[in-house]
């Protein structure tokens, strides 16, 4: 059983994480928007790493899960810096494979651009880069630009999903698509073609933008946004093994 620990940030806030030591490259999982390390994909990655004696790091962003903070204060830039601080404290050396789910796929790219050659590979699961641009209609974007919070129906729970103007503005300043993304490591992008939240063609667009020549896109025809069915999880684990163990995906 891997226990939950806490890393204290310079400002005093605590970031919750779970660390499975082992051989590398170390897998680092980045959850989606309003998600945390208790989800099925994160748990499967940690369990698989423990069974194989491989290193794996899970975490909750500030304002999410067991970490301190208010979700309303979260931004991509803030969460990127938290991920970088945690990596520096827990796994300061050696190669890494970053796995990002939905918004975590955007954050994965931002973290990788900072870490450079330490990143041995990336795995995106319904990666959603730039969703502050394409994920909101004109009226919602105008409201966010005026400093208003936008609430949307949540298909996964009873509470509405909020987008705060600070998060939106920060995201707009960190858009990556439409230009070359200077990452050269191997990349695997998994996307369900029945995804109602993030269009599957976004992974194809991301593959074209990445500078790396070693990019593969895996499309699952009946896959939804979560990609948490047993077969979906098996595909994710195979793609992570492809990058950490040189096992064909």
Residue located via tokens 């980045």 = 30
Closest CA to 175 of 124, 112, 205, 130: 130
Of residues 102, 130, 191, 203, which has the active-site annotation? 102
| Helix (H/G/I), strand (E/B), else coil: 121 | strand
State the Cα torsion 214-35-115-167 to the nearest 10°.
110
Of residues 35, 170, 225, 232, which has the active-site annotation? 225
CA-to-CA distance for 120 and 117, rounded, in angstroms? 7
Catalytic site residue 35? no
CA-to-CA distance for 27 and 146, rounded, in angstroms? 39
Of residues 195, 203, 232, 242, which has the active-site annotation? 195
CA-to-CA distance for 69 and 81, rounded, in angstroms? 15
The DSSP bridge partners found for residue 96 are 26, 119
Catalytic site residue 203? no
Structure-block tokens of residue 56: 């794996």
Catalytic site residue 47? no
Question: Where in the sequence numbering do the catalytic residues fall?
Answer: 102, 195, 225
């Amino acid at each position: 059983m891997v226990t939950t620990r806490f890393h204290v940030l310079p400002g005093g806030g605590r970031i919750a994480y779970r660390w499975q030591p082992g051989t590398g490259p170390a897998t680092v999982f980045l959850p989606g928007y309003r998600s945390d390390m208790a989800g099925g994909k994160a748990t499967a990655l940690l369990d698989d790493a423990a069974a194989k004696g491989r290193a794996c790091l899970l975490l909750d962003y500030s304002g999410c899960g067991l970490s301190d903070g208010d979700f309303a204060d979260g931004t991509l830039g803030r969460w990127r810096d938290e991920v970088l601080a945690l990596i520096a404290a827990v796994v300061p050396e050696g190669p890494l494979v970053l796995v990002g789910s939905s918004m975590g796929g955007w954050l994965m790219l931002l973290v990788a651009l900072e870490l450079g050659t330490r990143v041995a590979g990336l795995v995106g699961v319904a990666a959603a880069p730039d969703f502050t641009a394409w994920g909101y209609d004109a009226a919602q974007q105008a409201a966010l630009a005026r400093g208003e919070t936008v609430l949307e129906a949540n298909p996964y729970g009873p509470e509405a999903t909020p987008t705060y103007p600070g998060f939106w503005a920060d995201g707009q300043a960190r858009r990556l698509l439409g230009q070359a993304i200077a990452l050269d490591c191997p990349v695997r992008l998994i996307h369900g073609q029945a995804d109602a939240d993030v269009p599957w063609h976004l992974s194809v667009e991301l593959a074209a933008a990445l500078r790396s020549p070693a990019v593969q896109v895996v499309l699952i025809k009946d896959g939804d946004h979560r990609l948490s069915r047993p077969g979906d999880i098996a595909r994710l684990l195979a793609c992570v093994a492809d990058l950490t163990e040189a096992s064909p995906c």
